[in-house]
Amino acid sequence: MRRALFHIEGVPNPRAIKFVLENGILTDEPFEYRSYADAATSPLARKLLLFRYVESVLIHRNYITVLKSPTDSPDWEEALPELRMLIQGHLDANEPILFIGANTLVHSTSEGAVLELIRDILDRHVRPAAQEDGGDIFFESYENGVLNLTMHGSCIGCPYVTQTIKEGVEPLIRSIAPEVRRVTATANNLH
């Protein structure tokens, strides 16, 4: 049995931490869970969500981002050993990460050159940067010059989200797709 090797990375959001698997891939598509009930298709996410302070779990490629609750949460120094041990044990036991039928996070599909351009910018420039920090950003909608994005993983509640959107994402998208007048972002609303 091969031992799972992973390291822990801090991300810009102080409420989030990223566990990066060094010797494998967890999943090709992103999966996010915000409650124990929603995590029925992910045994690993279910285990993590049993901790009272875990608000959400994002599993994508070779990383797991854990977002802790803004209230009544221990410091990372206190929480990391138990989270690390749980993840290490789950991976070493070769338990499933996901069950068949798990619903991946997807962005809506629509027609139009502007939408294709927006999606291309998001997929090539914006999402990789967010994924580097243990999160993800998806297209939600585009109407009347307003691009709406949803935040996932460590991007939820990050103190730098507004600055990132207004000073990074919006100028980038507007420079390539001037039809976009404004970019907004909200946390995902998984049920």
At 16-53, the pLDDT tens digits run 999 999 988 899 889 999 999 889 999 999 999 999 99
Residue ranges covered by each domain of the chain = 6-92, 113-187
**What does 28-49 look like in DSSP terms, one character per residue?**
EEEEEE-STTGGGG-HHHHHHH
For the cut 90, the answer to whether the pLDDT of residue 184 exceeds it is yes
| Contact yes or no for 132/7 (Cβ under 8 A) | no
Query: Could you tell me the pTM of the whole model?
Result: 0.72
147-to-13, 17, 53, 61, 66 alpha-carbon distances in Å: 23, 28, 32, 26, 27
Which residues are bridge partners to 42 per DSSP? none
Mean pLDDT across the chain, nearest whole number? 89
Average pLDDT for 71-76:
94
CA torsion 125-128-134-137 (nearest 10°) is: 50
CA distance 5 to 88: 8
Note the CATH number of domain 113-187: 3.30.300.130
Most confident of 97-111, 134-148, 173-187: 134-148
Note the CATH number of domain 6-92: 3.30.1370.70
pLDDT of residue 188: 64
pLDDT tens digits, one per residue of 108-147: 444 477 788 888 889 999 999 999 999 999 999 998 889 9
pLDDT of residue 99: 86
Handedness of CA 73, 76, 77, 83 (dihedral sign): positive
Task: Point out the least confidently predicted range of 54-68, 94-108, 117-131.
Answer: 94-108
